[in-house]
Amino acid sequence: MLEKELWEKGFKYIGGVDEVGRGPLAGPLVSCCVIFPPGYVPLGITDSKLLSPSRRSYYFRLISETALSLGVSIVGEKMIDCLGVQAANIYSFREALLRASVKGAPDFVIFDWLKIPGLDIPSIATSHAESKSYTVAAASIVAKVVRDSLMENQYQEFYPEYGFIHNKGYGTKLHRDKINQIGIANCHRRSFCGKYLEKNRTNW
Amino acid sequence: MENTSKRIGQIGEEIASHVITRQGKMKIIERNYRSRLGEIDIIARDQNTLVFIEVKTRAVLNAGFPEESVTEYKQNKIRKVALYYLINHGYNPNNVNYRFDVVSITFIGEDGTRPNIKYFKNAF
């Protein structure tokens, strides 16, 4: 695990940053940054995609109780349309890190895949960081739980037609069929739905 | 024709960069910044403030003053590109100072070679 090597190098407070929701047709991009107390090894935490929703919410509670600091950033679909996912992702990573930052912590940051320019703390970005680092795995769990809960509650309530409770905004068959039938709504990322834009403009 | 207006624009940007750096307060960071969202003519630094500058040049005035052509649509576009620049260049848009300036250049005099420069600080 990456944390062990970093502790040996003398870093104490390691921040892990991960995002959820780069791909879906609707809904926000959620990033999270987690900092654990030095030397703390959470048991059983792995990539959020490998865990069932009930396991995820169990770990979500565990993480929020044990973490030294937590930061979550939610970037809406309008901003993604305006700037593109990449810039929106950089923005939300920075925002999450800023919100998790406390005095002196983190002193090292692990990003999942995407490197953030212009940071004054040392950092690395590796692909599949969720499986290499507990901290990033924990961040991915928190981000996933936050985003899923947003989609299942608020988005489902405002836009019940699209079945967000099942698809969380991702482009499943049901979701795409619904868009074909009734068109896209305000919650959809225009820049992702180019194919559906001509159809049914009345809905937005 | 298109080439001429492009040339005029380039000359205008050249003049504007001189004007900006002449006082010694502002430093140019980048010229003709291009991104997928659009362009910004000049990006400069004024002490701790980033300045995004739009240069507008007109050789003839029959289409109105150059500064009038920086419409609301254009302003919003520049705002978007500026935000994109900040995010991609390691700034946090929420705690960095920045402003938008417009430089308007027209050519006056009998032979139309004397530039008339107007500088709008904090234009929008």
ipTM of the complex: 0.79
pLDDT classification of A204: cutoffs 50, 70, 90: very low
Total number of domains constituting chain B = 1
Which residues of chain B from 44 to 103 reach within 8 Å of chain A, CB to CB? 80, 83-84, 87-94
Q: What is the spatial order of strands in the sheet that B114-120 belongs to?
A: B26-35, B38-46, B49-58, B97-108, B114-120
Pinpoint the alpha helices (H) of A105-133: 129-132
Q: Which residue has the higher pLDDT, A19 or B59?
A: A19
Burial A91-101 (b: 16+ CB within 10 A, else e): bbbbbbbeebb
- Does residue A201 belong to any structural domain of this protein? no
Q: Is the dihedral of CA B84, B90, B94, B99 positive or negative?
A: negative
Task: Taking residues A139-166, report their average pLDDT.
Answer: 95
- Does residue A138 belong to any structural domain of this protein? yes
Rounded to whole angstroms, how far apart are CA atoms A199 and A203? Answer: 10
- Does residue A181 belong to any structural domain of this protein? no
pLDDT classification of B112: cutoffs 50, 70, 90: confident
Search chain B and give the residue with CA nearest A119: B90
Task: Taking residues A120-145, report their average pLDDT.
Answer: 94
* Neighboring chain B residues of A87 at a CB cutoff of 8 Å: 84, 87-88
Q: Which residue has the higher pLDDT, A46 or A150?
A: A150
- What CATH number corresponds to the domain at position B95? 3.40.1350.10
- What CATH number corresponds to the domain at position A63? 3.30.420.10
For residue A46, what pLDDT is reported? Answer: 86
Rounded to whole angstroms, how far apart are CA atoms A20 and A143? Answer: 6
Total number of domains constituting chain A = 1
Residue B46 has pLDDT above 50, yes or no: yes
* Neighboring chain A residues of B76 at a CB cutoff of 8 Å: none
B90: nearest CB among A82, A83, A117: A117
Domain with B22, as residue range(s), is 2-120
Which region holds residue B63: left if phi is over 0, alpha if psi is between -120 and 50, else beta? Answer: alpha
Q: What is the nearest CA distance from B86 to chain A, expressed in angstroms?
A: 9
Q: Rounded to two decimals, what is the model's pTM?
A: 0.86
